[in-house]
């Protein structure tokens, strides 16, 4: 369900592509903040597309999504190493799939090929990662294993 803003008066389209839900929080502050940050950059990309922003703006926002993804993976992996997470390699491999896709195929070329498809892919990937994959280490840490 998309959220409407009070300023959604036809002049500005403020529909959010991904609406953050409280159940997305893992309870690990830096990771939750970064997940919200990534969702925010994806929403900015959607907004830029909807409002037909120019190539320079789009390029910057696509760069933000990509850079933030890399920063988040590095921070999360450092955190998981320090916690001694037993399934670290498997989790890192999931991150590497997206790292590989964004750097080898190139975020900008994925966007140019089909912008809506790229946005849908990012949305699905991140919702699955936040709600399913990252929950695995959260549950592991909570279990005190």
Record the tokens describing residue 20, joined without a space.
């953050």
Nearer to Fe ion, 15 or 40 (CB): 40
Nearer to Fe ion, 49 or 127 (CB): 127
CB 49, min distance to Fe ion, A:
24
H/E stretch holding 68: helix 55-83
CB 27, min distance to Fe ion, A:
13
The region of 7-15, 63-71, 107-115, 128-136 touching Fe ion under the rule CB under 5 A is 128-136
3-state SS class at 7: coil
| x/- track of binding to Fe ion for residues 58-97 (CB under 5 A) | ------------------x---------------------
Record the tokens describing residue 11, joined without a space.
């002049």
Nearer to Fe ion, 53 or 70 (CB): 70
Q: By CB under 5 A, tell whether 45 contacts Fe ion.
A: no
CB 91, min distance to Fe ion, A:
6
Question: For 74-112, b where at least 16 C-beta lie within 10 A, e where not — what string?
Answer: eebbeebeeeebeeeeebbebbeebbeebeeeebbebbe
How far is it, in rounded angstroms, from Cα 32 to Cα 118? 23
Record the tokens describing residue 31, joined without a space.
């990771």
Nearer to Fe ion, 112 or 128 (CB): 128
| Given 46, 134, 135, 142, the residue binding Fe ion (CB under 5 A) | 134
How far is it, in rounded angstroms, from Cα 19 to Cα 1? 8
Residues that bind Fe ion (CB under 5 A): 76, 134
């Amino acid at each position: 369900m998309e959220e409407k803003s009070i300023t959604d008066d036809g002049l500005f389209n403020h529909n959010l592509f991904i609406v953050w839900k409280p159940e997305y929080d893992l309870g690990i502050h830096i990771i939750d903040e970064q997940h919200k940050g990534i969702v925010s950059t994806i929403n900015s990309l959607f907004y830029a597309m909807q409002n037909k922003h120019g190539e320079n703006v789009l390029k910057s926002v696509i760069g933000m999504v990509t850079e933030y993804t890399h920063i988040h993976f590095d921070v999360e992996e450092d955190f998981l190493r320090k916690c001694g997470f037993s399934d670290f390699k498997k989790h890192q491999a999931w991150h590497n799939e997206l790292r590989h896709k964004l750097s080898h195929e190139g975020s900008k070329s994925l966007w140019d090929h089909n912008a809506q498809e790229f946005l849908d892919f990012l949305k699905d990937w991140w919702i699955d990662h936040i709600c399913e994959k990252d929950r695995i280490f959260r549950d592991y840490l909570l279990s005190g294993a």
